[in-house]
A and B are shown apart, each in its own frame.
Chain A
């Protein structure tokens, strides 16, 4: 478990002081995959580096499994770091060493015996799918393979936490997918808690259980990926969600809606169990309304279906009001599209 309590980080002092983080409260439960998203400069890098004290917070405490890191001696910090693996955007492998040596490095630093090390490295390379690359050098590998080496290296000391610093940002979409799958496997098979920072919402949707949105050094929104994606509160969050959820309306539909200005057009959002409910036909029958579906899509978030329909209600105004009320009572979200402007 990782607990941030009112963590702040300021670089420099006096007039040149830059506040990178302010009052961060965040709890990451054991076994979770937790994503922190933000635009560049939001403070993501500082945040993730506070977990293994590569950056020391100016204020506040960080507890790993209940132990306050900021109160530890240098030696104890180094010991704790062996329990926290880290992978990087630019991999940060030793170019002068073979894949084998790169992965073995954390073990050699701890003075493990050679035989144990070679067995462990062989297992790790098999796990990340690079069993045949032990004698190659990093510059002979592709970006995805380098990140696999990075992951194997991070796992060498059997950590309970893995920090991913923009781990897929330098990779193409296909390689990103395969690395994310590997990270999911790391989480499932080794029960390792993963904290990742990224600016790609797709990464969060793909593997995270929970997400926090960071802006100007503060967390502006956090929750389960499902909740944040289906009901983003803050503008920045909405921007991130819209960047991949495809729930914005296509241009042609928008034009259509604008032409029907004084019509009643609503966005209906179904989540989870309500997606299976025959809502439209029931409403249509019960309130004697005609319903015209203009646009719709259904996606899946964390294995839960999530539907999004744009529906034009045709009928008496009073009937429409009653219908909307009845829909809301089913715990289904309805929003006026024209008033919301998309």
Chain B
């Protein structure tokens, strides 16, 4: 094996760091975007066809670019925001561009599942649009929203592994530089094992949280 345990632990931290921050920022973008994609729809709370079409189109554009290409394509933006296009921090930017629209779609789906009747009841009791969103729509969809964010997180773990391509660090970087390029199979399997455990843990936690929310 060409790496020692401190290198692995460091890579693990980098992965957690990348996933954590990009999740935070993409959720901050994806949540409002997802809500807007729902309420600007025809016949919904804040029907606005032009806005919906623009948002819908933008989300689709970003969703159609493969991450590995997005990573390179937005280098100027990354450089503008973080000052560099190499390293862990620089990877967070494309990850957010990748996961933000993805989360928006997932959120949109969860919110669309909320029974229209509930929204009608909310309107009938004189709720304001804000109240409808925050006291009816989101609470009713919460358990499904948690599952959606879990899916997004797992997706981010996978995408962060590609960050190795721009020297982004993390477990994926380790697996590519040592496992693939230098034929160090052990390192490859160890990183793989850690990723598997991580994803299992995330999914299980997400499932538990979602279940708990449904019942409390």
Contact = CB atoms under 8 A, between A and B. Distances in A.
Interface in A42-95: 52, 54, 78-82, 84-86, 88, 90-95
A97 interface: yes
Interface residues of B, number: 21
Contact of B128 (A78, A85, A88): A78
Given A96-B139, A96-B142, A79 B126 contact: yes
A97 B139 CA distance: 8
B118 A109 contact: no
A82 to B, nearest CB: 4
A137 interface: yes
By CB atoms of chain B within 10 A, which of A81, A85, A94, A137 has the most? A94
A110 B135 CA distance: 13
A109 B125 contact: yes
A310 interface: no
A96 B143 contact: yes
A157 interface: yes
Given A105-B135, A109-B131, A81 B120 contact: no
A23 interface: no
Contacts of B125: 81-82, 85-86, 105-106, 109, 153-154, 157
Q: Main secondary structure on chain B at its contact with chain A?
A: helix
A186 to B, nearest CB: 16
Contacts of B214: 96
B213 A96 contact: yes
A52 B124 contact: yes
A109 B117 contact: no
Give the size category of A's interface with B.
20 to 34
A109 B127 contact: yes
A109 B135 contact: yes
Interface string B46-64: 0000000000000000000
B45 to A, nearest CB: 12
B124 A86 contact: yes
B215 interface: yes
B121 A81 contact: no
A81 B117 contact: no
A29 to B, nearest CB: 22
B115 interface: yes
A114 to B, nearest CB: 16
B157 to A, nearest CB: 29
A86 B140 contact: no
Given A97-B139, A105-B135, A109-B131, A92 B126 contact: no
B140 A92 contact: no
B44 to A, nearest CB: 13
Contacts of A52: 124
Contact of A81 (B118, B126, B136): B126
A91 B127 CA distance: 17
Nearest to A110: B126
B10 interface: no
A42 B199 CA distance: 54
Interface string A317-337: 000000000000000000000
Given A105-B125, A106-B125, A92 B135 contact: no
B213 A92 contact: no
Given A109-B135, A137-B215, A54 B123 contact: yes
Contact of A95 (B123, B127, B135, B140): B140
B117 A88 contact: yes
A90 B126 CA distance: 19
A149 to B, nearest CB: 11
B117 A90 contact: yes
Nearest to B129: A74
26 contacts: A52-B124, A54-B120, A54-B123, A78-B128, A81-B123, A81-B124, A81-B126, A86-B121, A88-B117, A88-B121, A90-B115, A91-B117, A92-B117, A92-B118, A93-B121, A94-B140, A95-B140, A96-B142, A96-B214, A97-B139, A105-B125, A106-B125, A109-B126, A157-B125, A157-B126, A163-B124
Interface of A: 52, 54, 78-82, 84-86, 88, 90-97, 105-106, 108-110, 137, 153-154, 157, 163
Given A94-B139, A110-B126, 18 more contacts: A54-B124, A78-B127, A78-B128, A81-B123, A81-B124, A85-B125, A88-B121, A92-B117, A93-B118, A94-B118, A96-B213, A106-B125, A109-B125, A109-B126, A109-B127, A109-B131, A153-B121, A154-B125
Interface of B: 115, 117-118, 120-121, 123-128, 131, 135-136, 139-140, 142-143, 213-215
